[in-house]
Structure 1
């Protein structure tokens, strides 16, 4: 069972790192690529996209040791635009990168609710703990406090609830009686009454495990005669609706959730480069190959072909 899990995880990764890895020559290649007039962007791509995140951290350490410079700062000074954004994203460790994306989503004018929802709805209990820690270390402030100051109402409540990391660890055992009770509670809090008891929805969606919620959704469909997604759409709106639907989608199929995020980022007027970069970088060593397969199913064409077309 465990070996099957490890194998499927390995198959999901699109980046596995270099064999016989040595950070010293890689750091030297990057230094040469940025030295003097002009920048050898291809050399930077060749090194950084073919290394795992752990290997990139070692390259950064070696770069600092050999040349006394911070690699991220050097890359920032030599590159620009979305290429800089992508390469710099590759250099952050996963939790620091998530913390940075959350910080950027709240900093400046307006708040990018979609980014906050995507990260908090799709990460595990253990990952959220690490993101909170990385956020505090990097920015000296409390992630929960910052989210509270940038959001309000039930949307604030659902994000804070996700931050608590109370979702039970996934387990194969499901308490059928509790799942039925939860389904009845959701039905009684929405479809059955005038108005909606949002807190009941928030509590159940944010504190139950994925396996439990799947059973709840199944029982809910029987009770309400419609899917939980359709009920959320008719009972809520705006950012709260987006957050609830993201939790449901991630529960049903996290790969499909990210494939949809990529599809919507590429489709329509203008490309949402931030979403594209964030999803590809953050999932490259997790499950990007599985996301690509879902993308092809949704879009009818490969992710790489749609990216090429969007960038022409």
Structure 2
């Protein structure tokens, strides 16, 4: 690529090692200097999953998120997993930034697009999430609220015939991670059942997956991230789209990445980079391994 070196190695070295701010500077400087769009040049010069990975990096975390969301909801079928990955367990500030950038880029309301894609109760769940009324991470655990949440979840699930899905969605979407962790711990103490197991038995489909995502992220976000990465590689065929988007999402925060790699090693008894090498090849492999700092 003109002005960026002509080989894939340069692209990998430059794009995989920058933080979001540096990526933004590179993208704007490239466009100002060459009067060309970096992402479009990458698309024209590279192919397949290597191209997808480079584009994710060149867009930076926010633009990558909104383009992935848009693509997940475009055309037939909705890629619910992508929506979970991007929208669930995010800070209020993140969600507001995503909604604003989505509106600015696509001239469409993210809430309206979500409404058109999801079934009734799951739609309500995601609209609760998108309202961005989650307790801030800095808010202390409220023991009285923990007790109330535990009893409300019990009454909404195991303690009644039928399940009050929206009540459970509301609790897991509006509490911060520390509060949810305390709720899960107290539920286990009180009813001798893992909340994870309760959700698996009381819910189904996309809503179950979304609630489990929120719960598992809150209980141990690094282990949850490690499991998400493994899920993208486990079974027949690698889910390349998820492997790339998840790896790159975690790579932006080097401290988080180090913790995710540690959790992966602990759980699966092998380094994350080794696992990725076994599932990928060529420049795509080199890019993914570079993104996990190997």
Relative to the length of structure 1, the TM-score reads 0.85
Give the equivalent residue in structure 2 for 1:176.
143
Give the equivalent residue in structure 1 for 2:238.
271
Greater Cα offset, 234-243 or 274-283? 274-283
* 1:81 counterpart (29, 38, 48): 48
1:249 aligns with 2:200: no
Where do 5+ consecutive residues of structure 2 fail to align? Answer: 282-294
**Which portions of structure 1, spanning 4 or more consecutive aligned residues, are displaced by more than 3 angstroms?**
none
**Using the alignment, how far apart are the partners of 2:120 and 2:48 within structure 1?**
36
**Using the alignment, how far apart are the partners of 2:97 and 2:123 within structure 1?**
21
Contact kept? 2:264, 2:271, Cα under 8 Å? yes
**Using the alignment, how far apart are the partners of 2:178 and 2:82 within structure 1?**
25
Query: How do 1:196-207 and structure 2 match up within 5 A?
Result: 196-207=163-174
Contact kept? 2:172, 2:180, Cα under 8 Å? yes
Shift, 1:179, TM fit: 1.0
Give the equivalent residue in structure 2 for 1:293.
262
Shift, 1:97, TM fit: 1.3
**Using the alignment, how far apart are the partners of 1:289 and 1:151 within structure 2?**
35
SS at match of 1:122: coil
Relative to the length of structure 2, the TM-score reads 0.91
Give the equivalent residue in structure 2 for 1:154.
121
**Using the alignment, how far apart are the partners of 2:139 and 2:129 within structure 1?**
22
Give the equivalent residue in structure 1 for 2:288.
none
Contact kept? 1:210, 1:251, Cα under 8 Å? yes
1:130 aligns with 2:97: yes
Give the equivalent residue in structure 2 for 1:12.
none
Shift, 1:306, TM fit: 0.8
Shift, 1:64, TM fit: 2.0
Q: What's the Cα RMSD here?
A: 1.5
What is the count of residue pairs matched by the alignment? 279
The structure number with the bigger radius of gyration is: 1
1:121 aligns with 2:88: yes
Deviations 1:162-195, CA, capped at 9 Å, x for gaps = 1111110023622212210111111111111111
Where do 5+ consecutive residues of structure 1 fail to align? Answer: 1-26, 34-39
1:306 aligns with 2:279: no
Give the equivalent residue in structure 1 for 2:177.
210
